Chain A
Amino acid sequence: MDGEELTEQETALYDRQIRVWGADAQRRLSKSHILVCGMKGTVAEFCKNIVLAGVGSLTLVDDRVVTEEALFANFLIQPDESMFGGKTIAEVCCDSLKEFNPMVRVSVEKGDLSSFGLEFYEKFDVIVVSCCSFTTKKLVNEKCRKLSKHVAFYTVDCRDSCGEIFVDLQNHKYSKQKIDETVECQLQYLSFEEATSIPWTDLPKKVSNLYFAMRVIEQFEESEGRRNGEISIHDLPGVLNLKKELCEANSRQVPDTLLERLITSAREFPPVCAIIGGILGQEVIKAISGKGDPLKNFFFFDVMDGKGIVEDIKPSPNKAN
């Protein structure tokens, strides 16, 4: 790789993980720049994981003021601090994250994701958005794709006891270990818009129900002009109507109980935050280091069946032309 060696301090601190991914991957990590938006519990978990892993820098975006509710699944906010008011969630989380690893630069960027220009996104290697509207997700993803450099884009959301990750690595080259040799591989990704606009009839039969349920809720929030997560059990009739429409048009079946569960509580379930934040951390490390098969392109976890499922959402081959 790039000739610079890890310092003695880095080798001592990162000893156990260098034994997992190697010194060259550690060097690449230490030069990477990550942007996250939407500091709820899952993103807090993710931030902890990559700060510990030793990325170069982490930039947080979340201008919401700290409230009692923000404390819920987020261990980066201490209740006494939040009582003082005025500080944004990103600012409070930033202070906590700095302590986890003095070798990582953690900072806050104020403003709205959709208002940032290309030159802003250009500074990063990885962008993770959470708790954003469908439109914002698509917009940020498109901006990433316009950049001359290769920027990895992720969305992550947990609703009640379920979680979803979307990954767009564009054209991703990486290496993986096969017994005694290293093999070079390449994967082609769809953008969030491309993936989510594939007609459901074109998707294979066995795609996880969670994929469809998440799209229904996303569309419901969008059509009602709600923010991400601004939904409750009172919206159930409307959500079920929308589901019926979408399912009938596409001959899909999604159980009502699943949708009911997803909108019952706006709160995240902390064990799911840990799991989704962990998987996302692992994926970002894989993407930066260029080592190991990254997941393509959706990941779902549901406490009910306990499965962590990878779905490759793409047009089925016979309908692609």
Chain B
Amino acid sequence: MASQQQSSAIKGAKVLMVGAGGIGCELLKTLALSGFQDIHIIDMDTIEVSNLNRQFLFRQSHVGQSKAKVARDAVLKFRPHMSITPHHANVRDSDFNVEFFKQFNVVLNGLDNLDARRHVNRLCLAADVPLVESGTTGFLGQVTVHVKGKTECYECKPKPAPKTYPVCTITSTPSKFIHCIVWAKDLLFAKLFGDKNQENDLNVRSSDAATSSEHANDVFERRKDEDVDQYGRRIYDHVFGYNIEVALSNEETWKTRNRPKPIYSKDVLPDKLTQLNGNLDKSGATDDFSSVSAMASLGLKNPQDKWSLMECSRVFLEALKLFFLKRVKEIGNLSFDKDDQLAVEFVTAAANIRAASFGIPLHSLFEAKGIAGNIVHAVATTNAIVAGLIVIEAIKVLQKDADNYRMTYCLQHITQKMLLMPVEPYEPDKSCYVCSETPLLLEINTHRSKLRDFVEKVVKAKLGMNFPLIMHGTNLLYEVGDDLDEAMVANYAANLEKVLSELPSPITGGTMLSVEDLQQELICNINIKHREEFDEEKEPDGMVLTGWTQAPPVEEEKANGNGASSSNELQVEPVETKKDAELEEIPESSRRKRKLPEDSEGTDVDVSNVVNETKNHKEVEKLDDDDDDDLVMFDDWASATNKKKRLQ
């Protein structure tokens, strides 16, 4: 195979691999066998037991060590004369800037989350380095090539949003098991064991003033000298009994739904308290919290079993008790972690009791853990295939063989006689805000939304920026960075709490904002349109961003955008996936010819509509161009902060 030209391209190449997980291990091996000599790997993760079924460079004895480093050592054993440089770090660290990226001939992604992928895409565009991107879920996989100016960038196509649920579905009207899981994990678990100061919608809203939040909060506090068993039963009765009764009193809600049934502990567990105690000795003699288990102390073994309502209730009370007896110091600081056995037991039990109350089928701990932890299905074979495809594309990229670049789908079901389906890559989307710098449109209530809402919900959550700098004309409104002085920090902190139209340089309908990320070297222009009302269910953010193409959320989402290479995310989930739907984003040509598997629906977004809308809005903006008279100059910090002080 390897022609002279090809092998010299391979030998002379300097390659950056981002991710040393499922795809990463396979990729590093295949690169090494193919003759690559100089490889850098970035991965911030350490090795876990559940990685070992597919990340074959790692052994039991490596658990807890850096993936990047162990992968390097393992590959050097069979290819000792190559250079592999591991970076045990987050790819979003400022060390990995455009200059860093410029030293490579090609970047290969084996990532597991949207944020890191978008970040790498932007750095590759800024550094003008080709990117080969990949993802797998179960038997599905895909490999795509992104070369600036030649093919679409990673963000030209819509990406499905992580599924979110309306608050009232979670708090009052669950209809699926996932709703019960979200309730148990994000509301109940957080309320009992997490930060007490966090806002929490656990208590159902009711016209009854007695359940105002102040009173309700007290319910969840363990009273002084309260027996932990009594406390557990009190919580049980409150959330599964009393709260359901309160919800039932809202007749309007149940006209079209099945009425839930309140569950009280005495009905499910009539035994005396002493009898339901598990054997605490079995639940963990050591101080190692990972061995504390309600299942163990109750003698429940198989995580695949579905517990009865009674078993769920016993696990619920036992787990709650164990938190207070064995892990009391952590209470108040805990957040749900799928690798925390006791937390998974508690959430499984609570979700199942709630499911029983609402007539929803119960699930095993194994299943509940998968849903609660957003655990993605992963097998070695798909990763191996995808790694092979990545190397084939990487070699073409190094030889600048642009006519032969392909994106390839690994399919689960044979389609047009194929299991591996290559497709010609798309051209760059001229309206892509990332690679074509097309302005976005934001509809927002400028009299009600604060700068903080804009930063959190748009700049960070949607645009995926790390170090944003927000400008209105030449006026700097907000900035994140390490080298800011105190006055600036105070000024920005104050700005964050201000309503947009009341900022020193007011943002109103017709304003154009420029948002820049200095690390990613990405600038987005955003046209602001004022809008009074938003639909609470359909537009929960209270603002709508268009021109930024995101596919609608996919039902039954398996993975959301949290992941390994983004340390500040809630979940650190070391798997190698994109969402199912994204994977099955099959080219239109084949789409016409066949019916796609049902999990592929939901990704079709008519991009042209979005574009048209943006154009119309641009015209509107020209007519409605507010001028600002209250300016804060970019380089005049003293006056900005003075003005701020005067206002206070």
A-B contact pairs, 11 of them (CB 8 A): A16-B378, A20-B377, A264-B1, A274-B384, A279-B385, A282-B379, A282-B382, A285-B381, A295-B419, A306-B389, A307-B420
Partner of B384, one of A45, A77, A100, A306: A45
Partner of A99, one of B59, B375, B419: B59
- Counting CB contacts under 8 A, is B413 at the interface? yes
Contact status B389-A275, CB under 8 Å = yes
Instruction: Given A5-B302, A53-B379, A306-B408, check contact A281 B384 (CB 8 Å).
Output: yes
Bound complex: CA A76 to CA B74 (Å): 11
Shortest CB-to-CB span from B195 to chain A, Å, is 29
Contact status B379-A13, CB under 8 Å = no
Shortest CB-to-CB span from B371 to chain A, Å, is 11
Mark the stretch among B24-32, B152-160, B251-259, B485-493 that contacts chain A.
B24-32
Interface string of B383-396 (1 = CB under 8 A from A): 11101110110000
Contact status A75-B392, CB under 8 Å = no
Contact residues, A302-321 vs B (CB, 8 A): 303, 305-311
Interface string of A260-304 (1 = CB under 8 A from B): 000011010111111101110110010000001101000101010
- Counting CB contacts under 8 A, is A14 at the interface? yes
Bound complex: CA A292 to CA B37 (Å): 40
- Counting CB contacts under 8 A, is A228 at the interface? no
Partner of A54, one of B29, B53, B139, B387: B53
Bound complex: CA A309 to CA B417 (Å): 6
Contact status A12-B49, CB under 8 Å = yes
Q: Which residues of A contact B138 (CB under 8 A)?
A: 20
Shortest CB-to-CB span from B307 to chain A, Å, is 16
- Counting CB contacts under 8 A, is A11 at the interface? yes
- Counting CB contacts under 8 A, is B300 at the interface? no
Bound complex: CA A50 to CA B329 (Å): 44
Contact status A19-B422, CB under 8 Å = no
Query: Which positions in A face B, CB cutoff 8 Å?
Result: 5-6, 8, 11-21, 23, 41, 45, 48-49, 52-54, 71-73, 75-80, 99-102, 160-161, 179, 264-265, 267, 269-275, 277-279, 281-282, 285, 292-293, 295, 299, 301, 303, 305-311
Instruction: Given A11-B303, A275-B389, A281-B381, check contact A306 B56 (CB 8 Å).
Output: no
Contact status A295-B380, CB under 8 Å = no
- Counting CB contacts under 8 A, is B458 at the interface? no
Contact status B384-A277, CB under 8 Å = yes
Instruction: Given A48-B56, A271-B30, A308-B418, check contact A53 B78 (CB 8 Å).
Output: no
Instruction: Given A16-B54, A267-B1, check contact A308 B384 (CB 8 Å).
Output: no
Q: Which residues of A contact B598 (CB under 8 A)?
A: 179
Instruction: Given A267-B1, A275-B420, check contact A16 B379 (CB 8 Å).
Output: yes
How many chain-B residues does the 8 Å CB contact rule pick out?
56
Contact status A16-B375, CB under 8 Å = yes
Q: Which residues of B contact A80 (CB under 8 A)?
A: 80
Shortest CB-to-CB span from A174 to chain B, Å, is 14
**Residue of B56, B80, B375 most packed against chain A (CB within 10 A):** B56
**Residue of A267, A282, A305 most packed against chain B (CB within 10 A):** A282
Interface SS majority for chain B: mixed
- Counting CB contacts under 8 A, is B268 at the interface? no
Contact status B377-A100, CB under 8 Å = no
Q: Which residues of B contact A71 (CB under 8 A)?
A: 78
- Counting CB contacts under 8 A, is B370 at the interface? yes
Q: Which residues of B contact A49 (CB under 8 A)?
A: 380-381, 384
- Counting CB contacts under 8 A, is B314 at the interface? no
Contact status A306-B420, CB under 8 Å = yes
Q: Which residues of A contact B56 (CB under 8 A)?
A: 48, 52, 100
- Counting CB contacts under 8 A, is B294 at the interface? no
Interface string of B41-70 (1 = CB under 8 A from A): 000000001101110100110000000000
Q: Which residues of B contact A303 (CB under 8 A)?
A: 1, 392
- Counting CB contacts under 8 A, is B366 at the interface? yes
- Counting CB contacts under 8 A, is B71 at the interface? no
Given contacts A16-B375, A303-B392, list 6 more A-B pairs with CB under 8 A: A16-B53, A101-B52, A179-B598, A274-B387, A275-B385, A275-B388
Contact status B385-A270, CB under 8 Å = no
Shortest CB-to-CB span from B167 to chain A, Å, is 29
Q: Which residues of A contact B304 (CB under 8 A)?
A: 5-6, 11, 23
Shortest CB-to-CB span from A273 to chain B, Å, is 7
Partner of B366, one of A11, A21, A270: A11
Q: Which residues of B contact A295 (CB under 8 A)?
A: 414, 419
Q: Which residue of the partner chain A has the closest CB to B380?
A: A52
Contact status B377-A78, CB under 8 Å = no
Bound complex: CA A8 to CA B380 (Å): 21
Closest 9 CB pairs of A and B: A308-B420, A274-B388, A306-B422, A270-B33, A278-B385, A278-B384, A275-B388, A271-B388, A269-B1
Contact residues, B124-147 vs A (CB, 8 A): 138-139
Shortest CB-to-CB span from A184 to chain B, Å, is 17
Contact status A77-B1, CB under 8 Å = no
Q: Which residue of the partner chain A has the closest CB to B393?
A: A306
Q: Which residues of B contact A307 (CB under 8 A)?
A: 418, 420-422
Q: Which residue of the partner chain A has the closest CB to B74?
A: A75
Contact status B417-A311, CB under 8 Å = yes
Q: Which residue of the partner chain B has the closest CB to A162?
A: B1
Contact status B80-A20, CB under 8 Å = no
Shortest CB-to-CB span from B284 to chain A, Å, is 15
Bound complex: CA A128 to CA B26 (Å): 22
Contact residues, B292-306 vs A (CB, 8 A): 301-304
Q: Which residues of B contact A79 (CB under 8 A)?
A: 78, 80
Q: Which residue of the partner chain A has the closest CB to B58?
A: A100
Bound complex: CA A71 to CA B78 (Å): 9
- Counting CB contacts under 8 A, is B247 at the interface? no
- Counting CB contacts under 8 A, is B92 at the interface? no
Partner of B53, one of A17, A267, A272: A17
- Counting CB contacts under 8 A, is B2 at the interface? yes
Contact status B419-A271, CB under 8 Å = no
Q: Which residues of B contact A271 (CB under 8 A)?
A: 30, 34, 387-389, 391-392
Contact status A299-B388, CB under 8 Å = no
Q: Which residue of the partner chain A has the closest CB to B407?
A: A306
Contact status B53-A293, CB under 8 Å = no
